Amino acid sequence: MGLTTGFEKIVRQDEPLQMHTWFQLGGPAEYFAEPENTDQLVELVCRCHEEGVPTRLLGRGSNILVRDEGLPGMVIRLFKPAFCDIRVDGCVLTVGGGAKLGRAITTAVHEGLAGLETLIGIPGTLGGALHGNAATHGGDIGQWATGATVLTLTGEVLQRTHDDLVFGYRQSSLNELAILEATFDLEEDDPKELAKQLQKNWIVKKSDQPMGHQCAGCVFKNPRGSSAGELIDGAGLKGTRIGGAVVSDRHANFVIAESECTSQDVLRLIDLIRTQVHDRMGIELELEMEIW
Ligand code: EPU
């Protein structure tokens, strides 16, 4: 039947992914779709499964580097309103997987619900944040999650209860194709106090990390007991450049893409950082961001 038949309105071919990622680099996706609702999403995923088309979910692209050659198969984005709903019922916050994490946090704060305000400044979608258990020194998102609705690669919609949820450092048991929705059990607090806390956390984040640049958050995970940023800085690599890719002067675990940068430049800089940190400190750095 072919992949686009019946999905002409939502599937695009050879979609450039630059504008969908924070790095603004890389080649096109063979197929790209933004379904209107869950039924359409499920139908599309089932079709991809039947046709043997590899399928990936893209959030807001804040933790991803797309290779220059692009990628085969289908990239789906949960961008339409049906996937971005945020609801509050008592102390329970329910958020669509495609909603911005920042919006979920500010809604909670506005409603006088505490817990997520330490995460302000982390970009991306709720789904992406939960899948990778986004965190700061103040806590992680997983500790507040009580349930989720997920979609598998075969097109099944499943409920995950609190007992199914396991979170670790930048990882979770939510490893299906997509998180459609998740619930969080938060704590009642004074909205004014929470708003102040939010502002304080935002200022700290802005002063410590290169926000507003073309980058993708921390490049490497922190090795057990140490900080990748501190190691890279200690190896004297701040400001190191390959082509248009530079190690941030503000925080060494960030790579900034300047004008004329390619994904290959970033990949070569990542290799150089890994080799230097390994040779000088004997520590193997592991990637945090994903390479597509
Ligand atoms: N440091 C340096 N040089 C640098 C950067 C950091 O010496 O260039 C030192 C700092 O002075 C500090 C230590 O390293 O003593 C730790 O730095 P920081 O507080 O910035 O925390 P981090 O361990 O580098 C982690 C997360 C960040 C998160 C911050 C704040 C990882 C890989 N990174 O960074 O998460 O925002 O804590 O809570 O776990 C991300 O995951 O994308 C991310 C940005």
Question: Ligand 1 centroid vs 229 CA: distance in angstroms?
Answer: 6
At residue 212, the pLDDT reads 80
Q: Which pTM was predicted?
A: 0.95
164 CA → ligand 1 middle, Å: 30
Q: How far is the CA of 274 from the centre of ligand 1 (A)?
A: 17
Please list the active-site residues.
170
Nearest-CA residue for atom 27 of ligand 1: 136
Query: To test ligand 1's pocket by mutation, which of 116, 137, 253 has the most ligand atoms within 8 angstroms of CB?
Result: 253
Q: Do β-strands 290-291 and 64-65 pair in parallel, antiparallel, or remain unpaired?
A: parallel
Confidence label for 225 from pLDDT (cuts 50, 70 and 90): very high
Does the pLDDT value for residue 180 go beyond 90?
yes
Check residue 3 and give its pLDDT: 78
Protein residues with CB under 6 Å of any ligand 1 atom: 136-137, 208, 217-218, 221-222, 227-230, 233, 251-253, 288
Is the predicted pLDDT of residue 111 greater than 90, yes or no? yes
Atom of ligand 1 nearest to the CA of 137: 38
Which phi-psi region, left, alpha or beta, contains residue 21 (left: φ > 0; alpha: ψ -120 to 50)? beta
The reported pLDDT for the residue numbered 1 is 58
pLDDT of residue 282: 95
Give the whole-angstrom CA distance, residue 255 versus residue 246: 6
